[in-house]
Amino acid sequence: MEFDTDAWREELQSYRDQKDEQFGSARQSPVPPDEREAFDGLPYFEPDPAYRVEATVELVDGDETVTMETSTEGEQLYRRAARLHFAVPNTDGEPTEATLVAYQRVDETDSGSLFVPFRDKTTGQQTYPGGRYMELHYDDELADGAEIRLDFNLAYSPFCAYSEAYECPLPPRENWLEVAIPVGERYEG
């Protein structure tokens, strides 16, 4: 089945509109209450289907854990679940091989989703200085060598980008990409 770019863009825009509405009015919004009335939506890069890539899953055996520092100088413990190998466009448009580690919180059971925090060459310039996040949802059990879709257009800033009341894990060094990922949420701090 051929990829329908127009339908993908419409779905992405709908997702962004819903998120903006929640951030502007929901009680659990990370936007401080006194700033919600003036909130007119999050800043985003233009959608680019070139950053919607297939990643090959390499499951991590055992219980390798990573202690992630947080935005409040605390720590959170995560388990490495998988390494995701993929290619994204570089500044010259040529594909660049990259790897990100996907994690699960040590205190959570397998929920069919993985946490992928990352930094890239936009971090601290066009995107939140603490990095951005993605969540990968999967059906069934994740298999070694399986293909899973990574859509960087869904990359988002953590709640601590909007309020110091939140404690957010910071991407560990193993998830610092050496390329720019100019899609997803931007940051105008």
Is pLDDT at 108 greater than 90 in this prediction? no
pLDDT at position 23 is 94
Find the mean pLDDT for residues 74-91: 93
In sequence order, the 6+-apart residues with CB closer than 8 A to the CB of 56 are 84, 85, 86, 145, 146, 147
Predicted confidence band at 159 (pLDDT cuts at 50, 70, 90)?
very high
pLDDT at position 11 is 96
Highest mean pLDDT among 63-67, 109-113, 130-134, 139-143: 130-134
Sign, Cα dihedral of 40, 43, 46, 50: negative
pLDDT at position 3 is 82
Q: pTM of the full predicted structure?
A: 0.92
Predicted confidence band at 93 (pLDDT cuts at 50, 70, 90)?
confident
How remote is the C-alpha of 20 from its chain's centroid?
17
pLDDT at position 94 is 85
pLDDT at position 61 is 84
Predicted confidence band at 178 (pLDDT cuts at 50, 70, 90)?
very high
User: CA angle, corner 131, sides to 129 and 136, nearest 5?
Assistant: 165
